Amino acid sequence: MTSISNYINGQLTPPTRGNYIDLVNPSTGDVYSQVPDSDISDVEKAVNAAEAAFAEWSATSIEERSRVMTKIADLIEANLERLAKAESLDNGKPIWLAKQVDIPRASSNMRFFAQAITQFATNAHEMTNAINYTLRQPLGVVGTISPWNLPLYLFTWKIAPAIAAGNCVIAKPSEVTPMSAFLFSEICIEAGLPKGVLNIIHGDGLKVGAEMTKHPKIKAISFTGSTRVGAEIAKVAAPVFKKVSLEMGGKNPNVIFADCEYEKMMKVTMRSSFANQGQICLCGSRIYVEASIYEKFKTDFVERTKAMKVGHPSDDSVNLGAIVSKPHYEKILSCIELAKAEGGKILTGGEAIFPKGYENGYYIAPTIIEGLPANCRTNQEEIFGPVVTIAPFRTEEEALQLANSTQYGLSATVWTENLGRANRMAKNIHAGIVWINTWLLRDLRTPFGGVKSSGVGREGGFEALRFFTEPKNVCIRF
């Protein structure tokens, strides 16, 4: 069985203590590889390499940084098939989805920030007898910690702005889905990224992520993952004044008014509910529908959901593949049991599925639940699986109040053809991202992130470049 390696100082490197964690293919339940179970000694080596590389990398011209990053983007594209298969094998997502979304987006992340850095500018503030100008300087060694749901997509979303801005990076992918990050390290070597600029340390959250957060030489942590771990990171980072960007959980509302363009709404709602097995932080898991079309919506939504195919990720005809891991599969099933105990009625799904030949994989039927109040645990806690609740509302005020009724505030979707209402809802919903008559339509220049328990700070475009740089004002008197 092959095992994967860390990437330190430009080289593929086994973990110092030689320990590994089994890597499971969620579509079959079989162990198929091993990922380093790294610890503080590996983090230390990576920090030393990054520190040594910083002076040269931060002084490298923007054009040269941009050129290497563009080469990495090209190589991701050239390796599309291989990366998509690896992503699917690790994560359980359909290969077609990884090919259409995850891998192209990883390449776009590198290409986008390779260009954005060439356009990043600073301000000057003129006084009658002086001029102030602002420098934006890289922080030094920075850390990125990412989750398993969109592995290479979110991994590169952090690394790209960090290295574009001249930082050297210690990156920790999820230990559940490390394979595409490993292949990415091979791509960085091939592209000629100077040694030490990026260091990838695989392993457990507590042994690697927590050590990175504590490390005095790591100046900032950019984290995407659960609210629970985000809170841990904030607790450790605050007393040492470490810069943090936290992208965390969501419980996003999908608010459907009767005047919406119905067919378009239905098609997109199928995706916003169940894409990537519902394991996208932006999925709309609480669906609120205006009472006058509630019954029609319910009938159509249930019928279309029943027609969705769940099966092995290599089958191009499946809508949903496998859930990422056994613990997460068990968690989702226990959330469905909780929903039943809370009085929810399962309209479709609600159970595990055992595709022929893959009975030991982790598959769950797309599930719709009705009849639950807004304040129950099912409607308050993130499930992060193919499970949604539906409920009717009568007025715009009620829809808004329901949309805002959780501790989360990542994204929201609103369906209406009424421009005034669309604007009122957009303005008053507590979320960092509001989509009107669409979902997950992304422009990489826009600020990305959440409010309340969903996030601190913003990623995307110049926001990310600002996070990975420190402003310094220089005042010259004349």
The contact set with ligand NAD (CB under 6 A) reads: 145-149, 154, 172, 174-175, 205-206, 209-210, 213, 224-226, 229, 232-233, 247-250, 281, 382, 384, 410, 450, 455
316, 96 Cβ separation under 8 angstroms: yes
Shortest reach from residue 198's CB to ligand NAD, in Å:
16
Query: What is the rounded distance in angstroms from the CA atom of residue 184 to the CA atom of residue 174?
Result: 14
Contact 353, 306 (CB under 8 A): no
Shorter beta-carbon distance to ligand NAD: residue 301 or 384:
384
Taking the least distance from each CB to ligand NAD, the nearer of 222 and 348 is 222
For residue 240, the minimal CB distance to ligand NAD (Å) is 14
Q: What are phi and psi of 22, to 5 degrees?
A: -65, 140
Q: Which of 87, 232, 247, 290 is catalytic?
A: 247
Residue 28 or 149: the one with the smaller Cβ distance to ligand NAD is 149
Please state, in angstroms and rounded to a whole number, the distance separating the CA atoms of residues 106 and 343.
42
When the beta carbons of 44 and 398 are compared against ligand NAD, the nearer one is 44
Nearer to ligand NAD among residue 84 and residue 233 (C-beta): 233
Block residue for tokens 């957060």? 213
Q: Is 247 one of the catalytic residues?
A: yes
Least Å from the CB of residue 86 to ligand NAD = 17
Closest separation between CB of residue 410 and ligand NAD, Å? 5
How far apart are the C-alpha atoms of 176 and 185, rounded to whole Å? 17
Amino acid at 219: K
d(CA 168, CA 401): 44
Rounded distance, CA 231 to CA 407, Å?
Answer: 14
Q: Is 281 known to be catalytic?
A: yes
Which backbone phi and psi does 345 adopt, to 5 degrees? -105, 125
Are the C-beta atoms of residues 221 and 242 closer than 8 Å to each other? yes
Closest approach, Cβ 329 to ligand NAD, in A, equals 13
Q: Would you say 29 and 361 are in contact if contact means Cβ atoms under 8 Å apart?
A: yes
What is the closest distance, in whole angstroms, from the C-beta atom of residue 396 to ligand NAD in the complex? 27
The alpha carbons of the chain give a radius of gyration, in whole angstroms, of 23
Q: Which amino acid is at 249?
A: G
- Select 134 or 334, whichever has its Cβ closest to ligand NAD: 334
Question: Whole-angstrom Cα distance, residue 462 to residue 464?
Answer: 5
Contact between 34 and 20 under an 8 Å Cβ cutoff? The reply is yes
In the complex with ligand NAD, the residue whose CB is nearer, 35 or 191, is 35
Distances, alpha carbon 49 to alpha carbons 7, 57, 143, 209, in Å: 11, 12, 13, 18
Which among 168, 188, 260, 281 is annotated as catalytic? 281
Say if CB 464 and CB 154 are below 8 A apart: no
- Could you tell me the smallest distance in angstroms from the CB atom of residue 205 to ligand NAD? 2
Give the rounded distance of the alpha carbon of 433 from its chain centre. 14
Residues designated as active site: 247, 281
